DNA sequence: AAGTTTCC
DNA sequence: CGAA
């Protein structure tokens, strides 16, 4: 783990604490590749448009989602799962761009998780007011691989909870280019995103986009 | 419940 | 606003 990647040592201590050795925030990690990343997101969403999926309870999610890679996370009345085909088109999800894979692997390695091989990238688009309530990522086949989460656009507050829903979450402000990595003992920690506040980003306008890399299959 | 509403 |  390379400590010079951390801009805010006060907050880093929270994440690298003995209670949470397997979760890291990499500040402004993705900024150098932002042009290529944003172009790739545009290409992906042309082929597999963002959509508001339904929860098993029948509610529409406030976050608009699409995927790239071999496996895509989907939800509908039947439940949460990964699908190799986009339910909306019947076609495979767009392939994961090389710049995505490289970013995810580099971030994972910087956090101490070598040889991460993501086969799923969920792309979440937040408009003001959009949120993600506290949940665990547990639809993956095994939990050996970490999660890599890339923030782009206007700021959000990430909630990082414990292994039980009742554990009070940490509140971690995330801005454009921040990358959160968690795995190992932290792999199943609850997490979420507070309702997005209004804002403007020079490249992304009034929205936030998050890339979440996982090994699903 | 990867959501919503209600209550204090 | 957070908790139920």
Where do the domains of chain A lie?
2-214
CA–CA separation, A70 and A1 (whole Å) = 29
Question: Whole-model pTM?
Answer: 0.95
CATH (one of 3.50.50.60, 2.60.120.590, 3.40.50.150, 1.10.443.10) for A2-214: 2.60.120.590
By mean pLDDT, which of A1-10, A98-107, A191-200, A203-212 is the weakest?
Answer: A1-10
Residue A180: pLDDT over 70: yes
A206 and A199 Cβ atoms separated by less than 8 Å: yes
Is A191 annotated in a binding site? The answer is yes
Chain B nucleotides near the protein (CB, 7 A):
1-4
- Name the nucleotide nearest A192; use CA and C1': B2
Angle at A116 between CA A8 and CA A99, to 5 degrees: 75
Distance A29 CA to B8 C1' (A): 42
pLDDT at A4: 37
Residue A208: pLDDT over 70: yes
Q: What is the mean pLDDT of residues A147-169?
A: 95
Tell me what the pLDDT averaged over chain A comes to: 93
Is A28 annotated in a binding site? The answer is no
Is A137 annotated in a binding site? The answer is yes
Q: What is the mean pLDDT of residues A139-158?
A: 96
Q: What is the mean pLDDT of residues A149-169?
A: 94
- Kindly state the percentage of chain A with pLDDT values over 70: 94
Q: Say how many residues make up chain A.
A: 217
Which residue would you say has higher pLDDT here, A211 or A32? A211
DSSP letter for each residue of A18-60: TT-TTEEEETTTTGGGHHHHHHHHHHHHHHS--B-PBPTTSPB
Distance A91 CA to C2 C1' (A): 43
Residue A164 sits at φ, ψ, to 5 deg, of: -120, 145
Nearest residue: Cα versus C1' of B3: A59
């Amino acid at each position: 783990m390379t400590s010079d990647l951390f801009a805010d040592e006060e907050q880093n201590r929270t994440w690298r604490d003995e209670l949470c050795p397997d979760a890291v925030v990499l500040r402004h990690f993705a900024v150098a590749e932002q042009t290529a990343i944003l172009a790739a997101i545009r290409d992906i969403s042309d082929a597999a448009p963002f959509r508001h999926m339904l929860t098993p309870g029948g509610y529409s999610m406030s976050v608009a989602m699409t995927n790239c890679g071999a496996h895509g996370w989907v939800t509908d009345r039947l439940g949460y799962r990964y699908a190799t085909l986009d339910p909306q088109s019947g076609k495979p999800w767009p392939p994961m761009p090389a710049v995505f894979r490289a970013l995810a692997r580099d971030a994972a390695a910087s956090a101490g998780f070598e040889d991460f091989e993501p086969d799923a990238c969920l792309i979440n688009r937040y408009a003001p007011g959009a949120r993600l309530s506290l949940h665990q990522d547990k639809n993956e086949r095994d939990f050996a691989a970490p999660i890599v989460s890339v923030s782009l656009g206007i700021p959000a507050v990430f909630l990082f909870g414990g292994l039980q829903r009742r554990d009070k979450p940490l509140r971690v402000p995330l801005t454009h280019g921040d990358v959160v990595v968690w795995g190992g003992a932290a792999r199943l920690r609850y997490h979420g995103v507070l309702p997005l506040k209004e804002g403007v980003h020079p490249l992304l306008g009034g929205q936030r986009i998050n890339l979440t890399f996982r090994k699903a299959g």
